[in-house]
Structure 1
């Protein structure tokens, strides 16, 4: 009996470039091509129908990740926002990670996509489609010189903040229980950045921005509101998750929310543990579809940046989630929208084609 071809998944967020940097940088691209213990690599992608997505460029803070995970296993936690990263420290890291993405393209591992036509062409050719994304815009100067250069290199998506302050605004802490209504909104520079990204056709990602910043973007931006990897506060009261009012605003704008696979933002207890049934992910999807409609819900895994459900494990496990959607009663047309169609639609609007 012939095997069923997996439903193609275009994903809102992964951190595999950070993993490659930590594994040695340029020499480590072999791991991506040939196989690794990462969530995302070529062999696993082929097995799981991972067609591509947003590849994050992220400047890490000097955090003790083991200590962070231990905190997020407690019934309540409140990790303070890390210190800001100066632009002169962030820029070399961003250049290094952008160069890693370019090297992967040069080696034939993926295609950097600057338009929806590029994404469709890559998917049609069986190539991994990669959108260059920045998570936390510390490397960008107020005059936008770096932004212009990165755009020429392929940057098409940008999150003004990670969960730490920048000159553009302030992110949400890893705090449970908590809403995202913490700290001030966008700075005046942040408002300028929103307008500049709108004009250039760079997608703005609201996933780590606090609630006041979210509403600032909603007021200023003329483009759809997008949170690449966020979940619903109604099922997990974590500061990173979106309130019903925010979900409603995303839908009104024609935007999209990508379901984050990070278990600490899915589980009702807010704990970052892999032991979690896929039914919890379906609870979040049901709620988001109920509030926003099926045209505004996508996937934003956070692969290689978070603990994901053990039933998925990596991109090779994506068919388990697709099959869970089927068993839950989702029609094939809805599954196709969530898996990739809604991302392509919203990017056509945001990028202009």
Structure 2
């Protein structure tokens, strides 16, 4: 079974721990590794540029350090292909290489500078989440107390991303910012790693109105493995069956063509038993196969992501 995963924080781990080798057969500090991807059948992994909170004044050079890690220590290996275009995507899905798609989580250091945005695009960034949990120059993140939306510069940024063909990710936005983006963007958008609010009341999850909008816009919803986004701690420990509850809820809303997965591996300190590392994706696949037809499982694991990227990435 092929898999496309919409979010991981491997680059953050490699930034914090320069000794980490992505190609080590058993890297002690990584949830996602090359060996794990191959074992699981992960054909495409999205790698996020996420700056640690200890960097209180993010600079554009910080992003370039992450890009440097991505180029030198991941996609420089011939077994990995940097996915920037539909041609790259097709080559990976039909060949022996695995693919790496570069994303940005939080735009603090872009500071509304269109030149910086174009440089990130030229370096291969194809998906951007405007905020992490807090506010920046463009919008409020979901944990910002004022719960505001996009600024005027932020709305201009949305339009610039759409013009460049950069995909937009709403996973860390406030609800007001979500609707600002929905009103401003003229292209479909995604939630790369968010779950269902009705099943787990964490503010990072999506309410039914947001889910309906993502369905209407033919976006994508990446169910994530963060335990406290899957099941409230007061209700007990999250399990793979709880992940399937989110799948079932979304299916009941008519989101069969929107469901994807965004593990958030390497960005979490708690794990669902049986989903602690990338290679354990097989456990989720088997659980889905016991409940859903094979064609639908293939959609969830890679088909829905593939169809979205095949339409939205640059042709070449």
Q: Could you say which TM-score interval applies, normalised by the shorter chain?
A: over 0.9
| Per-residue deviation, residues 221-273 of structure 1 (Å, max 9, x unmatched) | 111131000000010011000000000000000111000110010013378x9
Aligned to 1:39: 31
What does residue 282 of structure 2 align with? 319
1:9 to 3, 17, 40: 3
1:89-238 correspondence runs (5 A) = 89-103=58-72, 104-173=74-143, 183-238=147-202
TM-score relative to the length of structure 1: 0.84
Distance in 1, matches of 2:70 and 2:82, equals 8
Tell me: CA distance 1:42–1:270, structure 2 relative to 1, closer, same or farther (3 Å).
Answer: farther
Is the Cα–Cα contact under 8 Å of residues 112 and 138 in structure 2 kept in the other structure? no
Change beyond 3 A, Cα 1:334–1:138: same
Q: Does 1:330 align with 2:287?
A: no
What CA RMSD, in Å, does the superposition of the two structures yield over aligned residues?
1.9
**Pairing partner for 1:55 from 47, 69, 72:** 47
- SS of structure 2 residue aligned to 1:157: strand
Q: Is the 8 A contact 1:230 1:258 kept in 2?
A: yes
1:223 is paired with a residue whose SS is coil
1-structure distance, mates of 2:216, 2:56: 34
Deviates more, 1:117-126 or 1:39-48: 117-126
Gaps of 5+ in 1: 1-6, 63-83, 175-180
The reply on whether 1:247 has 2:239 as its aligned counterpart is: no
Q: Distance in 1 between matches of 2:56 and 2:81?
A: 30
Q: Corresponding residue for 1:178?
A: none
SS of 2:132 mapped into structure 1: coil
Partners of 2:278 and 2:59 in 1: CA distance:
29
Aligned match of 1:177: none
Structure 2: stretches of 5+ with no match in the other structure: none
How far apart, in 1, do the equivalents of 2:312 and 2:223 lie?
Answer: 19
Residue pair 2:149, 2:174 contacting (<8 A) in 1 also: yes
| CA–CA separation in structure 1 for the residues paired with 2:148 and 2:39 | 44
TM-score (norm 2): 0.93
How far apart are 1:348 and its partner, in Å? 3.0
Deviation (angstroms), 1:135 = 0.2
User: How many corresponding residue pairs?
Assistant: 312
**Selected match of 1:281 from 243, 251, 275:** 243
Kept in 1, the 8 Å contact 2:3–2:42? The answer is yes
